[in-house]
Amino acid sequence: MLTDAACRQAKPGQSNRKLFDSGGLYLMVLTSGTKSWRWKYSFRGREKTLTLGLYPEVSLRDARMARDEARRQLVGGIDPGAEKRVVKVSRTRQPTDSFEQLARAWHEARKSSWSTRYGKQVLERLENHAFSLLGPSRVGEITAPMVLEVVRRIEAQDKLNMARKVRMHISEVFVWAIASGLATTDPAAMISRAMKSATTHRRPAAITIEAARAVLQQTEAREGASSTVLLASRLLALTAARPAMVCQADKREFIGLDGPEPLWHIPAARMKLTRDKQRDAAHDFLIPLSLQAAATVQAALAIAPQTPWLFAGIGDRRKPISDSTLSKLYRIAGLEGVHVPHGWRSSFSTIMNEQCALQDRIDDRKIIDLMLAHAQPGVEPIYNRAAYLPRRRQIAQAWADMLMQGLPPPESLIA
């Protein structure tokens, strides 16, 4: 891979030469001494080359980011070279390229690869925090201090995570602009180390089996709590699924509840994935259910109204219960700062990873990650869908046996 020093020190020779970096990116050094960044790629079986800008106006770091942005366009079925030509044509028709115009064009180009919710969040962050200061300015006129001013205003509101996200989006817009030939540098990248560090807050969770069991006992002892909410809470604890997955569970997703291998088949459309993956059945997720989890689902089915939802809303039965309904149950039960609904994922991971260490089953760690629907680097999703199902079922059953020790059957939660 190239270094900044190698780029600076590259001298022209008797013929043009290429200094290769990685991923098809290289620095072309002409006999005239001109240096330009180029990216070699293939689109629909044809080898192509995309020029990303001149060095040193476009730094090594910016060239790599431009390559990555072009690669994302390629993955989305867009020819980066054709995209660049389209942008250049539009540029000749419009004398000013404001940051807001460019940001909206970037958002339009990328949103098909995002979930609807995430796409909306990205645009709202830019509209609420970036456009007022940067919006009218041409991208070539925006400097690092200007971006830092945007960030400082957000930090002044003690919204450090929001400041980090807005800076990231501004940087992504500039990287896209570099790949499209509309900018040569990314001023947002220059300020990352000048930002205040955001303190990460871990969701509170019980990390011993005794504490986890006590959490469940405490929530289920709450007088006046809805049977629907209590059953949802128990299924959440038994499966360690994301709260939204449980709250929005469809009755038709549960298979073989009376058999030896009950299963919860969650469509990709309901998973925490990008929009293109949500449309691909290869990303469906399977959760082997323990006997206790299957019994909990059956108890919920017995009281569920005639709607698709396993856990219908309390006020409006046409909608599922919400995450906030579960959170309220835990707060009222006196668990604020002790355990939250999402904390069951941490509880399951911590306790079962400890068990696999005690049993010298180190390979179980990746299986536990898979059960939590954590991305597996280098592993195809279609393989993840059904990988290690027998062992996943054993781990789910072991977790349920430990957690449910001494607790009554799910039917006891029905008022």
Beta bridge partners of 50: 39
pLDDT of residue 241: 94
Class of domain 96-201: mainly alpha
| Rounded Cα distance, 171 and 346, in Å | 32
> Shortest CA distance to 398 belongs to which of 265, 208, 238?
238
Please spell the DSSP secondary structure of 242-286, one letter per residue.
-HHHHHT-BGGGEE-TTSSS-EEEE-GGGSS--HHHHT-GGG-EE
Position 91 scores a pLDDT of 42
What's the confidence (pLDDT) of residue 383? 42
∠ CA 125-127-132, nearest 5°, is 120
CATH placement of domain 209-413: 1.10.443.10
Cα gap 113→277, rounded to integer Å: 8
Contacts with 310 (C-beta within 8 Å, 6 or more apart), sequence order: 232, 249, 250, 251, 254, 297, 300, 301, 304, 320
Say how many CA atoms lie within 13 Å of 185 toward its Cβ. Answer: 15
Report whether the peptide linkage leading into residue 56 is cis, meaning its omega lies within 30 degrees of zero.
yes
Query: How many helices, marked H, and strands, marked E, lie in the chain?
Result: 18, 7
Nearest to 161 by CA among 189, 199, 128: 199
Q: Sign of the C-alpha dihedral, residues 132, 133, 136, 140?
A: negative
Exposed e or buried b per residue across 1-34, where buried means at least 16 C-beta atoms within 10 angstroms of its C-beta: ebeeeebeebeeeeeeeeeebeebbbbbbeeeee
Q: Which residue positions in the chain have pLDDT lower than 50? A: 85-96, 377-383
CB under 8 Å to 326, separation ≥6 — which residues? 229, 232, 233, 236, 243, 246, 247, 341
**What pLDDT is attached to residue 234?**
98
User: Could you tell me if 48 and 42 are in contact, meaning their C-beta atoms sit under 8 angstroms apart?
Assistant: yes
* Angle at alpha carbon of residue 258, lines to 252 and 260, rounded to 5°: 110
Q: Where in the chain is the domain with CATH 1.10.443.10?
A: 209-413
Q: Tell me: the pLDDT tens digits for 334-372?
A: 998 899 999 999 999 999 988 887 787 878 888 998 898
Tokens linked to 243: 């709260």
How far is 152 from 159, CA to CA, in rounded Å? 10
Nearest CA to 266 out of 390, 372, 396 is that of 372
Rg (CA), the chain: 26
- pTM confidence score: 0.55
Task: Give the whole-angstrom CA distance, residue 262 versus residue 303.
Answer: 20
Q: Is 404 exposed, middle or buried (0-12, 13-18, 19+ CB in 10 A)?
A: buried
Asked if residues 72 and 113 have their Cβ atoms less than 8 Å apart, the reply is: yes
Instruction: Write the DSSP symbol of residue 414.
Output: -
Indicate where the chain has its CATH 1.10.150.130 domain(s).
Answer: 96-201
Tokens 């299963």 locate to 263
Tokens (6 digits) for 410: 């799910």
Please give the DSSP secondary-structure letter assigned to residue 45.
T
Predicted confidence at residue 107, as pLDDT, reads 92
pLDDT of residue 357: 79
Which tokens sit at 186? 């990314």
Decide: 83 and 180 in contact? Cβ < 8 Å: yes
